[in-house]
Structure 1
């Protein structure tokens, strides 16, 4: 298949330096208005100003913003059912809302329908790839992988490990976890655009034996990932201290079990000390910043600029259902606001880089997704700048630079501006 899409192409290869001016696109920002993007066999073949030969199917999206598909690096598929649940902090929220919703995914039909709904909603919000938490149930992983394969999506997931401090119907054993993980790896690893993540819910819900198993599985299967949570909430940090009194810190639990490395993504990481930050830097593990969730659950303010200065690899994520939307617009707007509360500023180019090329790099997938570049997979979205006669339309009409336009678009826009989604060159929305 040969498809050519015309529009205003924008990608951010590297974020601007802190002192960079924003009146003109800084180095690393590729702004190519009125260009043709050519797609052949699922990959970007070329980018050019001249119209392609008649053998190419042409789609004219003139005036629309063509971006790489967003990438979500921490999100829970079963938690669409509990998004925007009222009034509790993390630990009570898990017991009151999350665990009952996840227990329902033991039923294969529920898991299949939920997986399809979840992935369709990711696409409807402009996210074409994700690192996803399923449930403890083996069938939830099969359902997610199957639904992603049908849609051609880049998806990373794996059975959640939980053998204690969880209700009936959501616990496994270390032995069950090993058996199920090996079976899932054999069936799904390396299939299409799918990859496996050893998924430790968080330290309190795994025994020493299960944490050791997770480290062994990660080491034994190169190319697999590790995902978990760390230091999200102060009460959670205290609980970990009580459960693992011999470990120096919450992060130290994971370090001792061999769970930290360049293919490890840990959500939140708000309450970490200087030693923890050095360990993250040295191991090249990634912290997935989840601003709407941190604000909604009152977990704390993550210091993006500070952690970047520490040399820690960062990504940005929706964390639905603690987060309040799958929209990267809303996620990035919250990241800006959280930084502003700490006297910092995150410019539009930095925010956009985080949700695309930055998130791709955090997953070691920069060779495949996150940029508009020949050879990469054609995961991309076409966006309207605004709706007619809207506040955003007026704001854009008086903006004096690309950055001013893009910042207003990120702060005031949402998924209703999405006009087309292509996954591996196939239109899915």
Structure 2
């Protein structure tokens, strides 16, 4: 049996006895989809691909529960092409290569393309994504990826450049309520729900249609036939869920804020607690890693130049290992940053420079530090009197690098901690050389 058959979405040989509500109410036509009207309107690029069964590779990017998998299933039901789904969580590189070879042979022997749907494509590492490239280029497969993460960061550039990116919008409360109202008719208990109950379910879903349906199903398990669901019953049912964590809600931002502030406050114990809270609640480890890289430059900076090195190494480890093995890499980096000397001089310096840059963006670059690749530019004074530092004693000779029409400014002031103490010594030394040079030049003029 081939891998594509094993992974088929619509293998009906064995139906489960208790199909989840979210599956029972999954749309069977594009016109039944809620919340993606702009993406799927008649004549749109994606709608035209589906209706004509003429596909080029694309990626569906959007939050959870917005319809990415549903679109893929609708394509599988309607296409005359071979359709092979893959899960980036479950599939191994060997399986991917076997499926790619099947697709190549199918194109040669049957003249049929293979639509390969990769759910959570961002979870495939670089080597796994590389395996698709020659088959996409040859036309053996049409790649359809689905991801909740920004493809610019999670999909290799060579593959991304060959795919159109379709963005699915987060569902509004109005959309969620419409989905829930339709789903109530599929529940055999003949239940009703008041408007406030539906509003609470929509609010708690965070724009995730699947989550809203799962919550509704959980609430209805306690209901008797013919009852009306109230907001109070919804709140009571949902409040009993353990480790509730909305990745786009307030608690998401509260936890990451507590995490960063604990590191900034040099408390590794509290930082580890908040790290574990996020990881065990299902937070994306790459989201935490990106914040740690930011912390390395925002809160540690040049007080410990190794902080950014450690952060990038941890990022690579998280990509390479995945969860749960990557938890120790995140733990190590968290402890390193929390116990490192702290300085926000980087951030202060940048924002000060930014303010001046915005206000003085019309000032010209001084001609003496412009390159002069042509004779005309040399004749106009480009690069004239430029002092090449390495031609002078101490590899230093003062010259003004700011615009001629602007005074020199000091943006970066090192802290008194860690390596920045050494940086201050260097700055003081160069300042002394500058002062002596200017004094000598003044004496020569006199």
Q: Which TM-score applies when normalising by structure 1? A: 0.25
More strand by share: 1
More helix by share: 2
Higher RCO, 1 or 2 (CA under 8 Å, sep at least 6)?
1
